Structure 1
Amino acid sequence: MRVLELYSGIGGMHCAVKECGISYEIIAAIDVNTTANKIYKHNFPESNLMDCGIESLSATQLDEMKIDMIVMSPPCQPFTRVGKKLDAEDIRTKSFLHLLSLLPRLNNCPKYILVENVKGFEDSETCLKLRETLMKCNFTYQEFLLTPLQFGIPNSRLRYYLIAKRSPLKFSFANTTEIMTSLPSINSEENSSSTNATNISQPSTACISDESTRTNDHCKNSSHISSSHHMQSSPAKPAKKKETQHGMLGKSINNSDATDKKSPDIPAATCPICRESCLQSAGYNMRQLSEGEEEEDKYLCRLVQDFLEDQPPEYFQPFMLTRKDLKRFIVMDIVFPCLQKTTCFTKRYGHFMEGAGSIFQMSHSISEMTAASELKDRTLELKNRDQWSDEDYQVLSRLRLRYFTPREIANFLCFPATYNFPQDLSKIQLYRTLGNSLNVRVVSKLIQLMVKEQTSHVQV
Structure 2
Amino acid sequence: MKILELYSGIGGMHLALLASGVKGEIKKSIDISPIANSVYKHNFSERLLLYHNLDGLTKEMVEGFDVDTILMSPPCQPFTRNGNQQDIADFRTTSFVHLMEIFPTLQTIKRILVENVVGFEVSQMRELLVSTLTECGFICQEYILTPHQVGIPNSRRRYYLLGKKHPLEFPFEVGPLTYDFPLSEVSANLNNLVSIGDILEENQDFSQYYISDKILRKYFNILDICYSHSRNSCCFTKSYSRYIEGAGSVFTEKSEEFVKTILSQIQNVEKGSDEYLKLVVQLKLRFFTPREVCRLMCFPETFSFPPGMENRKKYMLLGNSVNVKVVSELIRLLVH
Q: Please confirm whether the aligned pair reaches a TM-score higher than 0.5, indicating the same fold.
A: yes
The one of 241, 248, 270 equivalent to 1:357 is 248
Q: 1:302: which partner in 2?
A: 194
Query: Partners of 2:307 and 2:190 in 1: how far apart?
Result: 40
Contact kept? 1:26, 1:47, Cα under 8 Å: no
Q: In the TM superposition, what are the counterparts of 1:370-385 in structure 2 within 5 Å?
A: 370-378=260-268, 385=271
* Superimposed CA distance per residue, residues 169-202 of structure 1 (whole angstroms, 9 cap, x where no aligned partner): 11111111x11111113xxxx44xxxxxxxxxxx
Using the TM superposition, give the Cα deviation of residue 149 of structure 1 relative to its aligned residue in structure 2, in angstroms: 0.8
Using the TM superposition, give the Cα deviation of residue 364 of structure 1 relative to its aligned residue in structure 2, in angstroms: 3.0
Q: 1:278: which partner in 2?
A: none
Q: 1:392: which partner in 2?
A: 276
Query: Partners of 2:116 and 2:109 in 1: how far apart?
Result: 20
Q: In the TM superposition, what are the counterparts of 1:194-205 in structure 2 within 5 Å?
A: none
Specify the SS of the correspondent of 2:234.
Answer: coil
* Superimposed CA distance per residue, residues 259-317 of structure 1 (whole angstroms, 9 cap, x where no aligned partner): xxxxxxxxxxxxxxxxxxxxxxxxxxxxxxxxxxxxxxxxx5211100111224xx211
The structure that is helix-richer by fraction is 2
Using the TM superposition, give the Cα deviation of residue 81 of structure 1 relative to its aligned residue in structure 2, in angstroms: 2.7
Aligned residue type for 2:178? M
Query: Partners of 2:64 and 2:260 in 1: how far apart?
Result: 64
Specify the SS of the correspondent of 1:398.
Answer: helix
Q: In the TM superposition, what are the counterparts of 1:115-134 in structure 2 within 5 Å?
A: 115-134=114-133
Q: 1:316: which partner in 2?
A: 206
Using the TM superposition, give the Cα deviation of residue 415 of structure 1 relative to its aligned residue in structure 2, in angstroms: 0.5
Q: 1:102: which partner in 2?
A: 102
Q: 2:329: which partner in 1?
A: 445
Same amino acid, percent of matched pairs? 41
Using the TM superposition, give the Cα deviation of residue 378 of structure 1 relative to its aligned residue in structure 2, in angstroms: 4.3
Gaps of 5+ in 2: none
Contact kept? 2:225, 2:249, Cα under 8 Å: yes
Q: 2:187: which partner in 1?
A: 227
Query: Partners of 2:117 and 2:292 in 1: how far apart?
Result: 22
Distance 1:168 1:365, change over 3 A: closer
Specify the SS of the correspondent of 1:163.
Answer: strand
* Superimposed CA distance per residue, residues 211-243 of structure 1 (whole angstroms, 9 cap, x where no aligned partner): xxxxxxxxxxxxxxx225455xxxxxxxxxxxx
Using the TM superposition, give the Cα deviation of residue 338 of structure 1 relative to its aligned residue in structure 2, in angstroms: 0.5
Contact kept? 1:103, 1:109, Cα under 8 Å: no
Using the TM superposition, give the Cα deviation of residue 376 of structure 1 relative to its aligned residue in structure 2, in angstroms: 4.8
Q: Does 1:334 align with 2:231?
A: no
Query: Partners of 2:51 and 2:28 in 1: how far apart?
Result: 10
Q: 1:260: which partner in 2?
A: none
Q: In the TM superposition, what are the counterparts of 1:250-329 in structure 2 within 5 Å?
A: 301-312=193-204, 315-327=205-217, 328-329=219-220
Using the size of structure 1 for normalisation, the TM-score is 0.70
Gaps of 5+ in 1: 192-225, 232-299, 453-460
Aligned residue type for 2:310? S
Query: Partners of 1:323 and 1:157 in 2: how far apart?
Result: 28
Using the TM superposition, give the Cα deviation of residue 370 of structure 1 relative to its aligned residue in structure 2, in angstroms: 3.2
Query: Partners of 1:78 and 1:99 in 2: how far apart?
Result: 16
Using the TM superposition, give the Cα deviation of residue 46 of structure 1 relative to its aligned residue in structure 2, in angstroms: 4.2
Query: Partners of 2:267 and 2:10 in 1: how far apart?
Result: 41
Contact kept? 1:362, 1:402, Cα under 8 Å: no
Q: 1:455: which partner in 2?
A: none
Query: Partners of 1:376 and 1:58 in 2: how far apart?
Result: 61
Query: Partners of 2:295 and 2:322 in 1: how far apart?
Result: 12
Q: 1:285: which partner in 2?
A: none
Using the TM superposition, give the Cα deviation of residue 363 of structure 1 relative to its aligned residue in structure 2, in angstroms: 2.1
Greater Rg, structure 1 or structure 2? 1
Distance 1:47 1:146, change over 3 A: farther
The one of 293, 296, 317 equivalent to 1:409 is 293
Specify the SS of the correspondent of 1:309.
Answer: coil
Using the TM superposition, give the Cα deviation of residue 375 of structure 1 relative to its aligned residue in structure 2, in angstroms: 4.3
Aligned residue type for 1:388? S
Using the TM superposition, give the Cα deviation of residue 341 of structure 1 relative to its aligned residue in structure 2, in angstroms: 0.4
Aligned residue type for 2:308? D
The one of 316, 319, 326 equivalent to 1:435 is 319
Query: Partners of 2:327 and 2:265 in 1: how far apart?
Result: 41
Aligned residue type for 1:10? I
Distance 1:93 1:228, change over 3 A: farther
Using the TM superposition, give the Cα deviation of residue 84 of structure 1 relative to its aligned residue in structure 2, in angstroms: 0.8
Query: Partners of 1:142 and 1:102 in 2: how far apart?
Result: 22
Query: Partners of 2:299 and 2:147 in 1: how far apart?
Result: 13
